Amino acid sequence: MSPRAGLDAKAVIAAAGALADEHGLEAVTLAMLAAKLSVRSPSLYNHIQGLTDLRIQLAVYGLEMLHGALASAVTELTGDEAVHALAQAYVDFARAYPGIYEASQRYHDQKNEAIREGATLTFILVSNLLSASYALEGDAAVHAMRGFRSVLHGFSDLERGGGFGIAIDMNASLRVIVDAFIVGMKTLLKEAK
């Protein structure tokens, strides 16, 4: 195979993401990626430093994509409507890009500046949304963030793993869960006053 013209790091990461979404993150190998891109495996080292680096770059890519999806979902929305829109966008992202989503969550703790920046952008977006919607500050805002992330990631993880076996509309379940979260946030607000 001859080197593919126009191949760059973005194309390599996007191809790896497509493979991860189709086959699962752990199934992606450099040989599989090279075959998809019609190059020899050593050619990938012009763009990545190995499998670990590929997965870290895939995490950064996923965090950027997730942030974009969430930001688009809540544009010009506020309050409960914005919280529901963000929740649906989060779960929809995890459904549409399961391998990329897994990478963005698995490599969250890496000591990598780009990962920290990507995670921080999403944290700020969600934190600002919750704070503006429910006037939460300080510890209450942190508790809300942790709770909301737990709800969304937990729901997405259970769904991806086949943990919801009853044939009831998943989006309806998500809406009920987010409604319960919102009631909790409003209760916290009342108790804080």
The domain locations on the chain are: 56-192
- Residue 69 above 90 pLDDT? yes
CB 70 within 8 A of CB 89: yes
Does pLDDT of 170 surpass 90? yes
Whether 21 has a pLDDT exceeding 80, the answer reads yes
Please report the pLDDT score of residue 72 as a whole number: 98
pLDDT value for 2: 45
| Residue 183 backbone class (left: φ over 0; alpha: ψ -120 to 50; beta: rest) | alpha
CB atoms within 10 A of CB 168: 8
From residue 17, give the alpha-carbon distance in Å to each of 11, 25, 59, 86: 10, 8, 9, 23
The fraction of the chain above a pLDDT of 70, given in percent, is 95
How confident is the model at residue 1, as a pLDDT? Answer: 43
Per-chain mean pLDDT for the chain: 92
Domain spanning 56-192, CATH class: mainly alpha
Indicate the burial class of 8 (C-beta count within 10 angstroms; 0-12, 13-18, 19 or more). exposed
What is the mean predicted confidence (pLDDT) over 49-65? Answer: 95
Instruction: Average the pLDDT over 16-36 and give the result.
Output: 97
Check residue 109 and give its pLDDT: 62
Q: What is the pTM of this model?
A: 0.91
> Quick one: average pLDDT of 52-60?
94
Six-digit token pair at 70? 């969430």
Integer angstrom CA distances of residue 32 from 10, 16, 26: 17, 9, 12
Mean pLDDT of 121-126: 94
